[in-house]
Structure 1
């Protein structure tokens, strides 16, 4: 018989999910967007919230709806294709980009302000310690909810609330003028910036991980798993909204604190120093380090859990391997890692979004297997065009495509394919037998 979670466990699950999401990108991208959006901040912020909060929430509910995690969502795809797609997403969101970025941002914003430039040797030492500790916490999968949700996250929330209150009560600068794409298409630009958090991809991972954690807690039936996943997603989405609104407001009132901005980390550091003085640097260091650490734990655990189920290799061995790879990749450098990750994200995001839409609409398709394969193929092909454009490749030949100049060439063809899937009638028994 399935068990019910206590209120403490439910809150712990929600806080753990929030902490898994709140990592490096969630803190460095919103302030920069708020600064560059200027007088168009509200539209840019709503666009950002669509892809950085709305899509992850919808995705984790889709995982719950499908049942059985990733396997449930990709049941209608060829097994090999589903596996290749999953491996690509787990590598991108895990050891290749997102997880190493947590260690880099924690180093750049949590340690360097106090100790100054320490060279490559300092970065190597820090990442070894950071990911070594993340490995230790990740090793015991059954205690993740208690360690992250009930211990680390409450401390993080208190620190974030202190920062949010300071930003709203005592803004330190003035509003800059809008610049770049925020002048003409602030909403769409905000949406594209929301991609950079990688949280929609992360939802596919975290949803499957949470299902496994619920099973270990004795929650085994579909209805209860759906309920608890939806609650966890809602708690995390609420927390993320509060964080993003305060960080957008921070960036939007930062002119004078900084004269120009190359990245969100610089804005946050200068603003917190102006707002709280030197003690503020300790608050910021605590926020950054805890946020990045909990996300690193979530990503390492989710990747290890997936590859354990895929290969049969020990979960604990995979945790050590994933953590070691993250420490190695982190020494590439933050700017280089971000520049490498953006084209890949732009290419793979449409597939993830399309998969979520298909999961919700599956009952509306006359021939769901055919529709799944057609829609995901179109999303992938057009996503690759957008990814090549984001990488700086000249793509003038495809400029006639709707929304291509906005990085959204995949959107209309993918929606059209979904619409076609709804119009196609089901096979009759005779047609199915002769096909």
Structure 2
């Protein structure tokens, strides 16, 4: 397996992560954090880059990927949780969201077309292109790694370099959450990119790509994944920092609601009439590569667990689902997805971290079962509250946990449960001193 192939796989992984959501988070962070940009972007990189990196490695170290990770709790849980991950982050959320964002923040920046017919025609074209690229998984590395990623990086580089040359770094106070605890605020902002869950889906894409390029042994697959993830992670760090810096130094007193407005404004200032075209092109390329990766991941996964349907059949199914759901509109997609993602994301994170720790601490089934049970309890609470349930009787009990108000109340209880579970198994499996038994 050549180094150039691993490099292109790393480029592909970068493109799969770098969707429109990732594009618009860092500029807003930069704008709001002001003089506290350093600790804020550091926090963002911890959960926006490091955590997805760990997720990819966790999948690579497993013989059966995500299913094996979930099976530490129970085999049925492993299957069901994997299916939920792929359907939620892919077919019913990530894929249609990519198309909707490409239309609203990309296509409309250039053509200014409104109405339901505009959405339908764009999504039809978008998913036709996605279908054609996704149809042959062995060529995805070439199409994304060799062509789409370099184009995306080139367009981004034009915006970033011009920003560094034009905008001045002037002192500005941090706003809101970034004023008191910028590191924690940055961690939470990166947390909401949902990339750790996406990484669980993308793991199978990387493994299959490495196998197609000649990786045969487990050692080669793990090494190839590590190098590819480092390439992708390095690219993400550079791009996130640069986009955040644009938000940090953009001039004017304008109040921005989101990162898309910041990048659109920066493009307009730097390139005048061509600014919207540049930003629209960046968004559409970012969404296209993410959508291709998600369809490939979902199709490969379901083809493995139910091979009676071919890979191409699954591609067709997920393209059609994406086309139909994307026409509901971005706001509806986000509204429906929030409760589901609020539930699965904490469970996914605890599984990722414990799966990696197990290679150091040794196996402990009770550790996984207790940690996932406690984390799922908190996650279910957050999901129910997000859809309007009044659970005041539980709030008083759960809000003693640190970061509860930010939706991270599960962290300390979840890891305490893991430690207790590990201790229980350690006691159960402790060798018996037979000489003492005979006393």
Corresponding residue of 2:264: 269
TM-score (norm 1): 0.91
Corresponding residue of 1:224: 220
TM-superposed CA distance for 1:418, in Å, is: 2.2
SS in structure 2 of the partner of residue 277 of structure 1: helix
SS in structure 2 of the partner of residue 66 of structure 1: coil
**CA 1:86–1:383 in 2, change beyond 3 Å: closer, same or farther?**
same
2:55 and 2:196 in contact (8 A); partners too: yes
1:386 and 1:408 in contact (8 A); partners too: no
Corresponding residue of 1:86: 82
SS in structure 1 of the partner of residue 223 of structure 2: helix
Q: Which one of 70, 73, 78 corresponds to residue 74 of structure 1?
A: 70
TM-superposed CA distance for 1:416, in Å, is: 0.7
Give the 5 Å matches for 1:141-180. 141-171=137-167, 177-180=173-176
- 1:388-423 deviations in Å (ceiling 9; x for gaps): 445565554333333212221100011112222343
1:30 and 1:247 in contact (8 A); partners too: yes
How far apart in 1 are the matches of 2:61 and 2:76?
23
Q: Which one of 272, 295, 298 corresponds to residue 290 of structure 2?
A: 295
How far apart in 2 are the matches of 1:160 and 1:418?
42
2:167 and 2:251 in contact (8 A); partners too: no
- 1:255-314 deviations in Å (ceiling 9; x for gaps): 51x611222212111111101222333332222111110110000110111111122222
**CA 1:335–1:46 in 2, change beyond 3 Å: closer, same or farther?**
farther
- 1:184-215 deviations in Å (ceiling 9; x for gaps): 33322222221332211111111122112222
Long gaps (5+) in structure 2: 433-439
2:339 is the counterpart of 1:325: no
Corresponding residue of 1:62: 58
Corresponding residue of 1:211: 207
TM-superposed CA distance for 1:370, in Å, is: 1.8
- 1:72-127 deviations in Å (ceiling 9; x for gaps): 32342322111111111111210221221211121122221222132111011101
Give the 5 Å matches for 1:403-414. 403-414=403-414
**CA 1:363–1:372 in 2, change beyond 3 Å: closer, same or farther?**
same
1:195 and 1:349 in contact (8 A); partners too: no
Corresponding residue of 2:341: 345
How far apart in 2 are the matches of 1:430 and 1:187?
44
How far apart in 1 are the matches of 2:220 and 2:431?
39
2:67 and 2:79 in contact (8 A); partners too: no
How many residues are treated as equivalent by the alignment?
Answer: 426
Q: Which one of 311, 324, 328 corresponds to residue 306 of structure 2?
A: 311
Corresponding residue of 1:45: 41
How far apart in 2 are the matches of 1:49 and 1:366?
29
2:274 is the counterpart of 1:279: yes
**CA 1:29–1:393 in 2, change beyond 3 Å: closer, same or farther?**
farther
1:365 and 1:423 in contact (8 A); partners too: no
Give the 5 Å matches for 1:128-139. 128-139=124-135
- 1:152-172 deviations in Å (ceiling 9; x for gaps): 111111112222212222227
How far apart in 2 are the matches of 1:58 and 1:92?
21
| Deviates most, 19-28 or 159-168 | 159-168
Corresponding residue of 1:417: 417
How far apart in 1 are the matches of 2:100 and 2:27?
18
How far apart in 2 are the matches of 1:192 and 1:387?
17
2:370 and 2:417 in contact (8 A); partners too: yes
How far apart in 2 are the matches of 1:366 and 1:118?
57
1:390 and 1:407 in contact (8 A); partners too: no
TM-superposed CA distance for 1:366, in Å, is: 6.7
| Deviates most, 321-330 or 365-374 | 365-374
TM-superposed CA distance for 1:222, in Å, is: 0.3
How far apart in 2 are the matches of 1:99 and 1:175?
40
How far apart in 2 are the matches of 1:236 and 1:30?
17
Long gaps (5+) in structure 1: none
